Chain A
Amino acid sequence: MTPTQPVPRQYPPRHESPRQHDPVTLILATAGAAVPAVVVVGVPQPLQALLAAALLLALPGAAVVRLLDPTVSALPLVVLAMAVSLSLAGAISTALLYAGFWSWQVCCLLLGVITIAACALRGRVVRT
């Protein structure tokens, strides 16, 4: 029997990579630097909860997924950004607990570092 064949998507050829300075990457990188800092310093509720949710649920995952797959479409980007962000947050938190020096501030900063690194790498990949 024939398995279902989704409509094939068009992918850009290698020489037509996404734009070098795409605004989303810049926004993600800026947020990756600013949000962890603000969250660690602390702001009044509900801003603290919203910013923390953005950091734990979206930023690192979105940066990593866009790095790994520049042509990812909207639904997979949203779902995988959340899955990868939560996974990274869980993995970092678990690793720090096993290492015996758990700190939520360190977790936040590491998530910020991953976000910035993924954005920087994406810029580098696009340039080459």
Chain B
Amino acid sequence: MAEITKAGEVVGLPPPPAGRWSVHDVLCAALALLGAVVSCLAATTVTLPVESDLGLVASLPAAYWAGLAAINGALAMALFTTRSRPNTWLMALLLGTLVLVMFGAAAMVTDDPRGEVSWRHVGIADTLQRTGEINPEVDAYFNWPGFFALLALVSKTTGVGALEIALWAPVVTVALWLLALAMIVRTLTDDPRRLWLTLWVFCLGNWQDQDYLSPQAFGFFLHLCVLALLLGSLRANTPRFQGLAPAKLLRWWRGRTPAEPDPRRRVATLVVCALLIVVVTGSHQLTPFMLLVAIGILTVAGRSWAPGLLLLALVVIGIWLAFPASSYLEGHPPLADVGLDTTTTANVSERVAGSPGHLLIVQLRMALAAGLWLVAAVGVLVDRRRGRFDLRPVLLMAAPFIVLPAQSYGGEMLIRVSLFSLPFTAYLAAGALVPRRWPPRSRVVRAVGLGLLCTALAAVTVIGRYGNARFDMFTHAEIFAAQKMYELAPDGATVIAAAHPTPWSNREYVERNHRTIKDLCRTATDPHACAVLIYGYAQHHRGGALVLMNRASQASLVMTGVLAPGSFEQYERGLREMPGTRLIYENRDARIYQMGAP
């Protein structure tokens, strides 16, 4: 019987099959490939618009779920019904099928990117391409332009449109995250089963939907790479902690030794870290602070051999905030909405609202996050009991929570904290699932249990990720209408949509003023008052305003509880009744009104 040692190694297992595929491996691969083909074909049969408040889950046929279950079953078979180490290529194939089916599902349903934010990001990159310069006065994106500069370059160089890149971005992004996470896990354990389970659980817990074409997705990849280097070549071996007395602390600190014996490698790693930190800082508002906290916590715990990296990160962030981002910070102090109360209200109270279907989705997401944290806590206990406890993943799982009270981040802070915590949550949770002895006594029972658990987690994640599909997946008709609006808009006209879920901003990002009725009518008490506000706003613009009322905006306002069912029509009627307002375009899912034209 093989046992997992303190170092996390599995002793006594036969060596890897060195590229040879057993019949068992071929069966697992065939099952996963069959599952992927079935799921993909099933997803292509879904037609838009999604009509249910439960999102894509209500539209995906049973075959999709059967395929997803087959892939998870193949994983359980590959890990637990064999006596040998997992075949690396087989596991990579299984993981690839899971990523494709879970994160590529929307791209198989439609050939347009999901979510308004992707369209907006395409518009920012388009602006940089066309103007060839950065105007920090435009908005926050132009104060952290690194990712958009990269996107502009990628789009121009490859000749592939940014919207096409956005369509498949989630699959590519998750693949990059998994590679970086594999590098991290390799520094924490040599147990191949724990490595693959961690990657698997990471996918199954990735309900946050932050892998679309965005600075966050790019920044998170670089964040993981820096952590991998910090846990690898820059790791410090620490002596036993003796107490908080200054002399003891000093002795403990001085007793650290570098895990990497070659100073050339340590310096090389520092150079790479410095480059990544600079790029992260110039690309995203939040990620540098998450990175700073992670580096800080490892340094304070004596687990980093490069305390200077903390100083470097502080200096880089400070310089960026003081110079390139100063325009934005003048009107938006970084700690303006500090406090746990503010964060809780913005991240929990305001989000747990809306239609019953939407509420169920929100509650499922919260339950999944809490459930994973619970399994991770069990994993910590299991690791302690088996004598393989490692403080670093525990610290890195907890580190993002330090940032939670500092910013509400537009009500998304809890989602981001959950994302940054996920790699280490997954690692610790995998610790609870890996058996102590190998091969385990009841392999088939364990395999069935793991398969069922993974299938359930995968289902909940798919439900959570695509829970907003009713308003974040656009029909061709509303996309056509949104693009038509730019063609119809006279010079100087502002463009107004009912709410943010609108496939727009991908062009004329700076040239046109983009506003939403939801934002403009914050103070309005009824549809007529709102219409008067919009009319007044339109009259202040040389070319008046074009107002787009589309299906997705209507769905989002009703689903999230901003409007009661039937209110949207009242608001639209109010707009139509304003003097000089006329309907200039109409299709099945959208209408364009012209207001206040000269």
**B134 in contact with A97 (CB, 8 Å):** yes
Q: How far is the CA of A11 from the CA of B160 in the complex (A)?
A: 42
A56, chain B: closest CB distance, angstroms: 6
**A97 in contact with B157 (CB, 8 Å):** no
User: Is A23 an interface residue when CB atoms closer than 8 A count as contact?
Assistant: no
Residues from 90 to 111 in A contacting B, C-beta threshold 8 Å: 90-94, 97-98, 100-104, 107-108
**A75 in contact with B186 (CB, 8 Å):** yes
Q: How far is the CA of A114 from the CA of B186 in the complex (A)?
A: 30
- Which A residues are in CB contact (< 8 Å) with B384? 1
Residues from 256 to 287 in B contacting A, C-beta threshold 8 Å: 261-262, 264-265, 268-269, 271-272, 275-276, 278-279, 282-283
Q: Please judge, given known A-B contacts A48-B158, A93-B152, whether A102 and B128 are in contact too, CB under 8 Å.
A: yes
Would you give the 0/1 interface string for B218-243, flagging 1 where the beta carbon is closer than 8 Å to chain A?
10011001001100100001100000
Name the residue of chain B whose CB is nearest to the CB of A73.
B186
Q: Which of A6, A42, A52, A88 contacts B7 (CB 8 A)?
A: A6
- Which B residues are in CB contact (< 8 Å) with A128? none
- Which A residues are in CB contact (< 8 Å) with B152? 93, 102, 104
User: Is B388 an interface residue when CB atoms closer than 8 A count as contact?
Assistant: yes
Q: How many residues of A contact B (CB 8 A)?
A: 48
**B145 in contact with A97 (CB, 8 Å):** yes
Q: Which of B132, B134, B276 contacts A83 (CB 8 A)?
A: B276
**A3 in contact with B390 (CB, 8 Å):** yes
**B183 in contact with A82 (CB, 8 Å):** no
User: Is A55 an interface residue when CB atoms closer than 8 A count as contact?
Assistant: yes
User: Is B467 an interface residue when CB atoms closer than 8 A count as contact?
Assistant: no
User: Is A24 an interface residue when CB atoms closer than 8 A count as contact?
Assistant: no
**B237 in contact with A68 (CB, 8 Å):** no
Name the residue of chain B whose CB is nearest to the CB of A86.
B150
- Which B residues are in CB contact (< 8 Å) with A26? none
**B133 in contact with A102 (CB, 8 Å):** yes
User: Is B535 an interface residue when CB atoms closer than 8 A count as contact?
Assistant: no
Report how many A-B pairs have Cβ atoms within 8 Å.
Answer: 154
**B182 in contact with A89 (CB, 8 Å):** no
- Which A residues are in CB contact (< 8 Å) with B324? 98
- Which A residues are in CB contact (< 8 Å) with B275? 84, 87-88, 91
Residues from 377 to 400 in B contacting A, C-beta threshold 8 Å: 384, 387-392
User: Is B154 an interface residue when CB atoms closer than 8 A count as contact?
Assistant: yes
Would you give the 0/1 interface string for B188-228, flagging 1 where the beta carbon is closer than 8 Å to chain A?
11100000000000000000000000000010011001001
Q: How far is the CA of A95 from the CA of B218 in the complex (A)?
A: 18
**A76 in contact with B188 (CB, 8 Å):** no
Q: Please judge, given known A-B contacts A86-B218, A94-B145, whether A104 and B157 are in contact too, CB under 8 Å.
A: yes
- Which A residues are in CB contact (< 8 Å) with B261? 11
**B188 in contact with A90 (CB, 8 Å):** no
User: Is B246 an interface residue when CB atoms closer than 8 A count as contact?
Assistant: no
**B128 in contact with A97 (CB, 8 Å):** yes
**A6 in contact with B156 (CB, 8 Å):** no
Q: Which of A48, A90, A103 contacts B279 (CB 8 A)?
A: A90
**B157 in contact with A56 (CB, 8 Å):** yes
Name the residue of chain A whose CB is nearest to the CB of B159.
A48
**A104 in contact with B156 (CB, 8 Å):** yes
User: Is A121 an interface residue when CB atoms closer than 8 A count as contact?
Assistant: no
User: Is B538 an interface residue when CB atoms closer than 8 A count as contact?
Assistant: no
- Which A residues are in CB contact (< 8 Å) with B67? none
Name the residue of chain B whose CB is nearest to the CB of A71.
B265
- Which A residues are in CB contact (< 8 Å) with B7? 4-7
Interface of chain B, helix or strand or loop or mixed?
helix
**A83 in contact with B221 (CB, 8 Å):** yes
- Which B residues are in CB contact (< 8 Å) with A107? 153, 157
Q: How many residues of B contact A (CB 8 A)?
A: 64
- Which B residues are in CB contact (< 8 Å) with A101? 132
**B183 in contact with A89 (CB, 8 Å):** no
**A49 in contact with B9 (CB, 8 Å):** no
**A6 in contact with B283 (CB, 8 Å):** no
Q: Please judge, given known A-B contacts A6-B190, A55-B157, A68-B272, whether A90 and B183 are in contact too, CB under 8 Å.
A: no
Residues from 1 to 18 in A contacting B, C-beta threshold 8 Å: 1-7, 11
User: Is A65 an interface residue when CB atoms closer than 8 A count as contact?
Assistant: yes
User: Is B8 an interface residue when CB atoms closer than 8 A count as contact?
Assistant: yes
- Which B residues are in CB contact (< 8 Å) with A52? 154, 157-159
User: Is A59 an interface residue when CB atoms closer than 8 A count as contact?
Assistant: no
User: Is A53 an interface residue when CB atoms closer than 8 A count as contact?
Assistant: yes
Residues from 50 to 64 in A contacting B, C-beta threshold 8 Å: 52-53, 55-56, 64
Name the residue of chain B whose CB is nearest to the CB of A50.
B158
Q: How far is the CA of A97 from the CA of B392 in the complex (A)?
A: 39
Q: Please judge, given known A-B contacts A3-B390, A56-B157, A90-B283, whether A79 and B180 are in contact too, CB under 8 Å.
A: yes
User: Is B149 an interface residue when CB atoms closer than 8 A count as contact?
Assistant: yes
B280, chain A: closest CB distance, angstroms: 8
B29, chain A: closest CB distance, angstroms: 21
**B268 in contact with A108 (CB, 8 Å):** no
Name the residue of chain A whose CB is nearest to the CB of B236.
A3
**A90 in contact with B147 (CB, 8 Å):** yes
Q: How far is the CA of A56 from the CA of B155 in the complex (A)?
A: 11
Residues from 328 to 387 in B contacting A, C-beta threshold 8 Å: 384, 387
User: Is B187 an interface residue when CB atoms closer than 8 A count as contact?
Assistant: yes
- Which B residues are in CB contact (< 8 Å) with A42? 159
**A69 in contact with B268 (CB, 8 Å):** yes
Q: Please judge, given known A-B contacts A87-B275, A107-B153, whether A75 and B182 are in contact too, CB under 8 Å.
A: yes
Name the residue of chain A whose CB is nearest to the CB of B233.
A69
Pairs A–B under 8 Å by Cβ, sample size 20:
A2-B389, A6-B7, A6-B190, A49-B158, A55-B157, A69-B268, A71-B265, A75-B179, A79-B183, A79-B225, A80-B225, A80-B272, A82-B179, A87-B275, A90-B218, A90-B279, A90-B283, A94-B149, A100-B133, A104-B157
Closest 6 CB pairs of A and B: A68-B268, A90-B150, A93-B149, A104-B156, A87-B279, A52-B157
Known: A3-B391, A6-B186, A98-B324. 13 other contacts (CB 8 A): A6-B189, A11-B262, A64-B272, A75-B183, A83-B276, A84-B276, A86-B222, A87-B222, A90-B282, A93-B153, A94-B134, A104-B153, A108-B157
